[in-house]
Structure 1
Amino acid sequence: MRVLTVNLGRPKAVDYTDAPSGTTGIDKRPADGPVRVADPGPKGEGASGVAGDTVCDLRHHGGTHQAVYAFAREDLDHWEAELGRPLANGAFGENLTTQGLDVNAALIGERWRVGGSLVLEVASGRVPCRTFASWLGERGWVKRFTQRAAPGPYLRVVEPGEIRAGDPIEIVHRPDHDVTVELAFRAYMGGRELLPRLLAAGEALDPELREAALAHLAAQRS
């Protein structure tokens, strides 16, 4: 299990984003050399946890619970075959392109040591948005991506550190529940009956997912 590339995005002006700046950082490219990763601070104030990476719409992206986004090379390969075109590392806007790790089977609250010092904790799955769909230019993309339910995880930073391409990934903690990235994604993206199951992840669950699960429970009881 390892990091193939660490990918950084620069702001780019486009006509398909609703970000106030009119720019997006989804076009991420592999970085040369080590990259510092640290907690960027609360959502709406902090941006990316990856130094040199750009988050242009702080309303919906970035912050502590979306500090780092990981996507597996194996899943990029799946989409290469299905879409019939090459997809470079970083093509889905991921900060870490991984190899040898089933990132969608990762548990909420699972912790990874990357390289020598960085420790990341799985917080939620990526939610596809208009910018993502327009960037790829694929018809019906949000529906197709949602149906496959292999979104890749957002991660928070537990211990900051430097990482680089080729660094090993070690799972150093797996919590005692069954709430995976895939399950959390399915629940949030329409499987509302699954939402109460997410509460088993406890404090590790992204606050937005926790709020959605609690609201669903309250509605059922009213």
Structure 2
Amino acid sequence: MKVISVNVGEPKTVMIDGKPLTTGIYKEPVSEPLFVTKLNFNGDGQADLVHHGGYDKAICAYPSEHFIKWKKQYHRPFSSGAFGENLTLKGLTEDEACIGDIFSIGTAVIQLSQPRQPCFKVAKRHGLSDLPLVLQKTGCTGFYFRVLQEGIIQQGDKLTLIERSLTPLSVRYVNRIYYMEKTNVEAMQKIIAEPTLSESWRKALTKRLSTMISE
């Protein structure tokens, strides 16, 4: 497992469909080592701080293995930073990555907190209106990390798994329950019980369960 690319970018306003859109989804690869804090990489930023960034979503990561799939489906190339990710990874996909996994990477220590929720800005960036829904349905969403120990990360760094939950829940499994099996009460309870799950996903699943129970 290693870092193919480190990608950062500050929010900017672009014209899409004749309308201005302020977004931080345009991330560009950098070759130099970058320091990552508990909130983000130096030189990086998000426009929508309600849905992006913060302690539980300090680092967005995306598996490079998916690029071939999207190239075949959409007949265009996808490269590092294409999905607004900070880390483009090799060897760690949604199938292997589990909520709560702790990795050493460079001089930092990071913990997987939740799947990535693809938003409309991914569609706008690529001019592909169906892309967010396709990412959800396939489970190829990417995922977020919180930073347990601040440090320096650079291209080529290896990820070393140093701790895993006693009840590992893969990102693909959590995605399936969240997006596809929306009435699977037992599975949602199991996911909510994972103490390292991000607060935003815990609240969302708890709200869904409460709604189902009250109906």
Same fold (TM over 0.5): yes
Larger CA deviation: 173-182 vs 192-201: 192-201
Shift of 1:74: 0.4
In 2: Cα distance, 1:198 partner to 1:219 partner: 17
Assess if the C-alpha contact under 8 Å between 2:94 and 2:170 holds in 1.
no
Give the aligned residue type for 1:173.
Answer: E
1:200 aligns with 2:200: no
Deviations 1:72-116 (A, max 9, x none): 11012221222111112111111001112224431111111112x
Partner in structure 1 of residue 49 of structure 2: 58
1:12 aligns with 2:12: yes
1:183 aligns with 2:182: no
Q: TM-score, normalised by structure 1?
A: 0.87
| Residue from 98, 112, 123 that aligns with 1:133 | 123
1:211 aligns with 2:210: no
In 2: Cα distance, 1:16 partner to 1:63 partner: 27
Give the aligned residue type for 2:81.
Answer: G
In 2: Cα distance, 1:135 partner to 1:220 partner: 35
SS in structure 1 opposite 2:146?
A: strand
User: Which of structure 1's runs of 4+ aligned residues deviate more than 4 A?
Assistant: none
Number of paired residues? 209
In 1: Cα distance, 2:150 partner to 2:78 partner: 29
In 2: Cα distance, 1:34 partner to 1:187 partner: 37
Assess if the C-alpha contact under 8 Å between 2:94 and 2:139 holds in 1.
no
Give the aligned residue type for 1:213.
Answer: L
Partner in structure 1 of residue 24 of structure 2: 25
Deviations 1:59-84 (A, max 9, x none): 21100011001111101222122211
In 1: Cα distance, 2:32 partner to 2:50 partner: 30
| Residue from 60, 67, 73 that aligns with 2:64 | 73
Instruction: Supply the RMSD in Å over aligned alpha carbons.
Output: 1.9
Assess if the C-alpha contact under 8 Å between 2:108 and 2:149 holds in 1.
yes
Deviations 1:132-177 (A, max 9, x none): 1111111322221111112111110011100110011111111111
Instruction: Map 1:29-40 onto structure 2 (within 5 A).
Output: 29-40=28-39
In 1: Cα distance, 2:96 partner to 2:33 partner: 28
Structure 2 gaps of 5+ residues are none
Assess if the C-alpha contact under 8 Å between 1:104 and 1:151 holds in 2.
no
Q: TM-score, normalised by structure 2?
A: 0.89
Larger CA deviation: 102-111 vs 119-128: 102-111
Structure 1 gaps of 5+ residues are 41-48
| Residue from 82, 87, 90 that aligns with 2:73 | 82
Identity %: 33
